[in-house]
A and B are shown apart, each in its own frame.
Chain A
Amino acid sequence: MARIEVQGVAKQYAEGEGGLALDGIDLAIQDNEFVTLVGRSGCGKTTLLNVIAGLVAPSAGEVRVDGRPVTGPGGGKGMVFQQHALFPWLTALGNIEFGCKSRGVPAGERRAIAAQLIELVGLRGSEAKYPIELSGGMQQRVAIARALALDPEILLMDEPFGALDELTRIEMQDELLRVWSSRKKTVVFVTHSIWEALVLSDRVVVLGGRPGRIRLDLPIDVARPRERTDPRLTGLYGEIWAYLS
């Protein structure tokens, strides 16, 4: 059974044709698979992610995680947003501990989990810093650590590196792969960068049109670690580009 099953999902935001954001989405994501949703702005990829996350209820169809229907956010579905969404009044450590505190995990245990994650994302020394004192890349590392603190089975990431400059972005992509390889999770990643999708994922799902539909579901059979200059990736780039135009 697939880890995540999306069946016939549609989302209508407003009356009439123009308000249909998604239509007839069928998708199965296996355990520990890294799937990327790609498409133009407005194609509905973020909407789909929010539906999977349980933040938005679909107008039709349903999403099942481990066979059980999704009714709300949380509960094993960690999320990372494009604008880091860190709580400005909490330190890095405080942010990472937030979810544990919500679950009632005792303080000592919380602290230990957070310390471990700080180490994992390479932010040793920045525990007591406030988000405003961190660079963009560091903020996203905290955001990722925060999502991982509850040890979710699924990680949902909405263009997490979109606000970063190119070099930091490449760095973060490598970071993410490293973290993912040490803590295997099912990842659904949204981006509008085809390159990012090719470097990171096992599978690229291309969404397009209005209403958004799945245009292409492409497995990336290139072993990791992947070279960004690998000609096979270039070829795949061409395929995806053709579907997006």
Chain B
Amino acid sequence: MARSGPTSPDRGAARRPPGWLGPGVLAAAVVAWEGAARAGWLVPFYFPAPSRLADTLRELLVVGFPQGVGMGTHIGVTLGRIAQGYALAIALAIPAGLLIGWVPALDRLALPVVTFCRSVATLSLLPLAIAWFGVGELSKVLLIAYACFWVVLANVVAGVKYVDPLLVRAARSLDTGPAGIFLRVALPAALPRAFAGMRVALGVGFMTIVGVEMVGTIQGLGALILEARTFFRSDVTLVGMAVIGLCGLALSTLLERLERLLLPWHRGLESVRR
């Protein structure tokens, strides 16, 4: 009768669901899945059993798929591509963002270009990239860089543009000139937003590489899961998907830790522009 949401007042600890419920549900789901597979209710090709997937994981780590290309290699290749594209994007987007955010005229000038380029689906550039740069690593890295660049740029610009004017006023009352205000107020004030953008960009880069690797490559996680389907190895695909998910989680956790380390003075959620 009475509702019991997380925002419910006076519900009390007695009604709060136990902590073990979450993992319990997951465990139950896995068990149910295994049971259904064993009982023959699931077609193995469409829904391989969890036990089968465990074996597949071992196989991928030791033997690899295709033969000789281990899971480690796939992960390494994918992460390597992301790393290069991401680094390139940040190296360009941060200085550009600082400049555009600080000089209003540049912001107006760049606005239509930035808005449009952000709306271009990165993967739609894949055929063009191949036409210009071939099917090698360069086109992949550039695509990742493209995807990450606009997100970081938008956030750095916003971070600089929306520095609390009160802080600027305070700095001016403390005999700080324009250069001082830019370097010692605008820059540090923009950091949290810039970091938020970098976090989102990593996720975007990750998403992009998976798609990029599905076209014309045999190495990398995206390639792995697509290739496997061609050979009717849906179990490999599922394991690959899980690995992709875990890598994504690991990367974002890494960035979060880094942010907490570098910005110990900042706490709280940031709104982010995509």
Q: Is the interface of B mostly helix, strand, loop or mixed?
A: helix
**CB–CB A89/B175 < 8 A:** no
**CB–CB B169/A55 < 8 A:** yes
Among B172, B174, B191, B264, which residue has its beta carbon within 8 angstroms of that of A130?
Answer: B264
1/0 per residue, CB under 8 A from A, across B187-228: the answer is 011010000000000000000000000000000000000000
**CB–CB B169/A150 < 8 A:** no
Q: How far is the CA of A178 from the CA of B121 in the complex (A)?
A: 64
**CB–CB A81/B266 < 8 A:** no
How far is the CB of A150 from the nearest CB of chain B, in Å?
7
**CB–CB B267/A150 < 8 A:** no
A77 proximity list for chain B (CB < 8 A)? 173
Q: Decide if B265 is an interface residue (CB 8 Å cutoff).
A: yes
Q: How far is the CA of A72 from the CA of B176 in the complex (A)?
A: 11
1/0 per residue, CB under 8 A from A, across B141-169: the answer is 00000000000000000000000101101
Q: Decide if A135 is an interface residue (CB 8 Å cutoff).
A: no
B184 proximity list for chain A (CB < 8 A)? 98, 101-102
Q: How large is the interface on B (under 10, 10 to 19, 20 to 34, 35 or more residues)?
A: 20 to 34
How far is the CB of B227 from the nearest CB of chain A, in Å?
48
**Knowing that A130-B265, A131-B265 are A-B contacts, what are 13 other residue pairs whose CB atoms are under 8 Å apart, sorted by A's residue number?**
A74-B172, A74-B173, A75-B175, A85-B164, A85-B166, A85-B170, A87-B189, A98-B171, A102-B174, A102-B175, A132-B266, A150-B174, A156-B173
B→A interface (CB under 8 Å): 164, 166-167, 169-177, 180, 184-185, 188-189, 191, 263-267
A→B interface (CB under 8 Å): 53, 55, 72-75, 77-79, 81, 83, 85-90, 98-99, 101-103, 130-132, 146-147, 150, 156
Q: List 14 A-B contacts (CB under 8 A).
A: A55-B169, A55-B172, A55-B173, A72-B172, A79-B170, A83-B166, A86-B170, A87-B185, A88-B189, A88-B265, A98-B184, A99-B174, A102-B180, A103-B175
